[in-house]
Chains A and B, each alone.
Chain A
Amino acid sequence: MLNLFLQFLINGLLVGGVYALLALGVVFIYRATQVFNFAVGDMVLFGAFVCWSFLVWAQWPVWAALLLALLVSFGLGLLIERLLMRPMIGQPLLSMIMATLGLSLFLRGVMSFIWSTSTVSYPHKLLPGQTLKFGGLFVSDELLWAFGVAILVFVVLSLFFQRGRIGYGMRATAEDHQVAQATGINVKNIFALTWSIAGLVAAIGGVLLASRVGLSVVSTPLVALKIFPAVLFGGLESILGAIVGGLLVGVLENLAGGLIDPKIAEITPYLILLLVLLIRPEGAFGLKRIERI
């Protein structure tokens, strides 16, 4: 029993690594622009599909396909910002949410045009390694990769925010667009950079996710939706919170699914979400907003 528990715990932690990575992308955009990106699931899928196309259609080596997928996703982020987000600056929050919802639908439609709606998977393993075994416990190497990459991206992004001109610029932009502009920060560039980095992170997450569960226009965005509970648990502004929230959602989902009832696994993240919203809406590490009149 203990062994089973530990196995589910490890699986949860490792799956949580992928969630954490995707959650990072959402938090990143929120921190720098105050926009919540509902299209994250589709951006994730897009990156993974581009990588798949270079591998299967163009028959390129893995490293080239990965690199190009990252580049294309970077470009996609840039495009989204330029065409959709920049004209929306200054519009109410509601419109911004709707815009990302519309974007999500649009991307999904375009992707079903290009890659059809059936499920595909990568032709071979992208990253070296095999399933590790520690005294009866199995640790999948794909998940280990995902976990490792998530931690790496986390470290890079936190350093990025805490040091360096651009990081400061982003934090200032999130605080107040106009004041930031007045101090000489190029808010437009900050926006563009934020969205393209988010596209990059989404592509990394997408490839890692897809190497485990395959690619499908129908189901992959649904997996990506599970990161919203993770983001909210950690607090929308907190990069550390995204990691903790992602891991927690992964662990709880696996434990509830494995030990209580497999059927309950799919709604566990949303139950966590409701509880967090009722008890501590700002999340574990988020900033509490105090409104004064």
Chain B
Amino acid sequence: MYRPCGVFDETFTQDLAIVRTKAHWGLVFFALAFLVCLPALASGALLANMNAIGITIISVLGLQIVVGYTGQISLGQAAFMSVGSYTAFMLSTYLKAPFLIALPLSGLTTGLAGLVFGLPSLRIKGFYLAMATLAAQFIIPWLIVNVRPDLTGGTSTMVVQPPRIFGYKFHTQQHMFYLIMAVVVLSIYLTKNLVRTRVGRAFVAVRDNDLAAEVMGVSILRYKLSAFFVSSFYAGLAGGLWAYWMRCVSVDHFTLMDSIWFLGMLVVGGMGSISGAVMGTIFIRVLDILVKAIGPWLGEFFPSLAGAATAALAPTVFGLIMMLFLVFEPRGLAHMWERVKSFYRLWPFSY
């Protein structure tokens, strides 16, 4: 991490701090204040969009750990989310488990599911691993629909009761906003910490060169599996929140397409960067909202396309952006932001 000129560490506490400069503190403060005040000012539709973005950020953060930091491809993040949402649904409906217990448990269950599909990663890598997680994307929904349809409701959509914490009911977008954003902020903080601990460094070692890591005493078995566990844990949290937020669960919410979108958000945001995961998610989601708004408008100009335009525009734009970023800015938005910062600091000099 690059810091502006003149920022020095004098104690170990300073060296370990996540938030380092005054500007940084100010930014954090304003971001939190913004999140706290927003529900009072914004409309329900805007909050609903932000809630969706928040849930996606949690899931993409998990994916960042396994893809960006550990270098293992996962095409199954959406399927893992579905495990989390169905766990939350079943715990809250059949066992009447309170939200604060059901949510971590759905994370844990999903983590275990992730371990199962992460097992092949011990023998294979690259394309092969993408395949194993692709299999998860087909097998998990099939299991949900066919194994115990009496519990999961099969292909039908099941209703989830709104979450309660100590008797307080979270039943509007405003309430859910605070709940979701709390989890988002917590998971960003935890991820930021995780990647600079021993475990996080081991992840990066496995990513950069697994043989070298093994030789230096990093147990590949242990760290690949823990990466999958943590990543799926995040997916489970996101899925659980999704179930509580949508107040319903259905396997159709979590398709292969969603998994690809999550990967695309990583590409756009930048691999191996927490802020990249957040920026990429926001960028793609906002773009998606814009495209959905433009679709009907395009339909007016090209009446023959009216039906297709809305459905076709999103994948076209998204696929194009993904390819453009890969070709022209493989390190993503996070890297662009770094460049902007260094430009601002060094101006009027070029370096």
Q: Which of chain B's residues have a CB closer than 8 A to the CB of A116? A: 307-308
A75-95 interface bits toward B, Cβ cutoff 8 Å, 1 = contact, 0 = none: 000000000100110010111
Question: How many Å lie between the Cα of A98 and that of B259 in the bound state?
Answer: 12
Q: Which of chain B's residues have a CB closer than 8 A to the CB of A229? A: 131, 135
| B241 interface residue (CB < 8 Å to A) | no
Contact of B319 among A88, A93, A105 (CB under 8 A): A105
| B67 interface residue (CB < 8 Å to A) | yes
Contact across chains for B264 and A101 when beta carbons are under 8 A apart = yes
Contact of B139 among A97, A225, A267 (CB under 8 A): A267
Question: How many Å lie between the Cα of A278 and that of B131 in the bound state?
Answer: 12
Contact of A274 among B71, B127, B139, B146 (CB under 8 A): B139
| A270 interface residue (CB < 8 Å to B) | yes
Chain B, residue nearest A111 (CB): B312
B249-269 interface bits toward A, Cβ cutoff 8 Å, 1 = contact, 0 = none: 000000000001001100100
In chain B between 136 and 179, which residues have their CB closer than 8 angstroms to a CB of chain A? 138-139, 142, 146
| A22 interface residue (CB < 8 Å to B) | no
Question: How many Å lie between the Cα of A291 and that of B212 in the bound state?
Answer: 12
* Tally of contacts, chain A with chain B, CB under 8 A: 138
Chain B, residue nearest A102 (CB): B322
| A99 interface residue (CB < 8 Å to B) | yes
- Among the stretches B43-51, B98-106, B118-126, the one at the interface with A is B118-126
Q: Which of chain A's residues have a CB closer than 8 A to the CB of B73? A: 94, 97
Contact of A228 among B119, B131, B323 (CB under 8 A): B131
| B326 interface residue (CB < 8 Å to A) | yes
Q: Which of chain A's residues have a CB closer than 8 A to the CB of B318? A: 102, 105-106, 109
| A232 interface residue (CB < 8 Å to B) | yes
Contact across chains for A88 and B139 when beta carbons are under 8 A apart = no
Q: Which of chain A's residues have a CB closer than 8 A to the CB of B113? A: none
Contact across chains for A109 and B326 when beta carbons are under 8 A apart = no
| Shortest Cβ gap from B85 to chain A (Å) | 20
Question: How many Å lie between the Cα of A277 and that of B119 in the bound state?
Answer: 10
Q: Which of chain A's residues have a CB closer than 8 A to the CB of B126? A: 93-94, 97
Q: Which of chain B's residues have a CB closer than 8 A to the CB of A54? A: none
Q: Which of chain A's residues have a CB closer than 8 A to the CB of B71? A: 94
Question: How many Å lie between the Cα of A53 and that of B75 in the bound state?
Answer: 33
Contact across chains for B138 and A103 when beta carbons are under 8 A apart = no
- A36-B127, A274-B132, A278-B120 as given contacts; A109 in contact with B322, CB under 8 Å: no
Contact across chains for B317 and A278 when beta carbons are under 8 A apart = no
| B313 interface residue (CB < 8 Å to A) | yes
Question: How many Å lie between the Cα of A229 and that of B127 in the bound state?
Answer: 12
We find that the number of chain A residues with CB closer than 8 angstroms to chain B is 43
Q: Which of chain A's residues have a CB closer than 8 A to the CB of B124? A: 277, 281
Contact across chains for B322 and A98 when beta carbons are under 8 A apart = yes
- Interface secondary structure of B, over-half rule: helix
Chain A, residue nearest B146 (CB): A263
| A266 interface residue (CB < 8 Å to B) | yes
| Shortest Cβ gap from B277 to chain A (Å) | 15
Contact of A112 among B67, B312, B323 (CB under 8 A): B312
| B204 interface residue (CB < 8 Å to A) | no
| A23 interface residue (CB < 8 Å to B) | no
Question: How many Å lie between the Cα of A102 and that of B308 in the bound state?
Answer: 20
Contact across chains for A95 and B123 when beta carbons are under 8 A apart = no
- A106-B320, A278-B119 as given contacts; A101 in contact with B263, CB under 8 Å: yes
Contact across chains for B264 and A88 when beta carbons are under 8 A apart = no
Chain A, residue nearest B134 (CB): A228
Question: How many Å lie between the Cα of A171 and that of B146 in the bound state?
Answer: 45
The interface centre, meaning the residue of B146, B311, B313, B315 with most chain A CB atoms within 10 A of its CB, is: B315
Contact across chains for A94 and B271 when beta carbons are under 8 A apart = yes
| A117 interface residue (CB < 8 Å to B) | yes
| A223 interface residue (CB < 8 Å to B) | no
| B32 interface residue (CB < 8 Å to A) | no
Q: Which of chain A's residues have a CB closer than 8 A to the CB of B127? A: 36, 93, 97, 236
Q: Which of chain A's residues have a CB closer than 8 A to the CB of B215? A: 293
Chain A residues in the interface with B (C-beta under 8 A): 36, 84, 87-88, 91, 93-95, 97-99, 101-113, 116-117, 225, 228-229, 232, 236, 263, 266-267, 270-271, 273-274, 277-278, 281, 291, 293
> Other CB < 8 Å A-B pairs besides A97-B126, A98-B322, A105-B319, 6 of them?
A105-B322, A112-B312, A271-B139, A273-B134, A274-B139, A281-B123
Residue contacts A-B, CB under 8 angstroms, 14 given: A94-B71, A94-B73, A95-B330, A105-B264, A108-B315, A110-B316, A112-B311, A113-B308, A117-B312, A228-B134, A270-B139, A273-B131, A273-B135, A281-B128
